[in-house]
Amino acid sequence: MALFEPHDEGDAATRALSVTAVENDFVERVYEKISTVYDLTFGPTLHPGRVDAIRRMAVKAGDRVLEVGVGTGINAALYPRDCTVTGVDFSTPMLEKARKRIAHKGVRNMRLLEMDAADLKFADNSFDIVYAPYVISVVADPVTVAREMYRVCKPGGRIVILNHFRSASRIGAWLERIIAPFTLFIGFKSDVDLPAFLVQADLHPISIEKVNVPRIWSLVTCVKS
């Protein structure tokens, strides 16, 4: 069964991913402001999706995992302790909270690095799993980020994206476009076009599953050929 209807893919290679555009410095300012309340606001509501994502990854002993957009390190304790996790983020305040969290939780298999997701400082084919939780709708250039994720993933490895994408219904999509400029100020674009994103990033999903309640968040899994 096709993951998308044919009309969804028609002009996907050229159409804009969102009605809004952001720059890194804007994203950095937003997350500097919300870093102190992120766990209270986005923690509980989005946590079921985080749990589902890591469970469905089926991380094996010895796997090298890269988490792109590690934020406050809210996923740190969810990973099996027999894998190695590298978490990267662009926001210094978020990483400061993440360092405190992993120290408090006694997490010893995660390292944290400040890094731009659109310019990952890792060699090609470095990780078994590359995971971006709730990141694609906040970065300035989602396609470049996805291509970087693909580059650093090993052949046969998985690229996993957990994110909100534009509704498939016309009314829902219209509303999401209307509110997209305003949702930026709480940290995300509400109208990212999933078919266009996947085509432009040259990602080929093997599954797209809905998570969280309400089920407006997608867990997208791709395998690097």
Residues 6+ positions from 53 with CB-CB distance below 8 Å: 131, 133, 160, 162, 211, 219
Q: Which fold has domain 6-223?
A: Rossmann fold (3.40.50)
3-class secondary structure, 187: coil
The pLDDT, as a whole number, for residue 53 is: 97
The pLDDT, as a whole number, for residue 2 is: 45
CA distances from 174 to 17, 127, 214 (A): 14, 38, 18
The 10s digit of each residue's pLDDT in 76-133 is: 999 999 999 999 999 999 999 999 999 999 999 999 999 999 999 999 999 999 999 9
> How do the domains of the chain map onto residue ranges?
6-223
Residues of the chain with pLDDT under 50: 1-2, 5-7
The pLDDT, as a whole number, for residue 9 is: 54
DSSP-assigned letters across all residues of 71-115: TTTTTGGGS-TTSEEEEEES-HHHHHHHHHHHHHHT--SEEEEE-
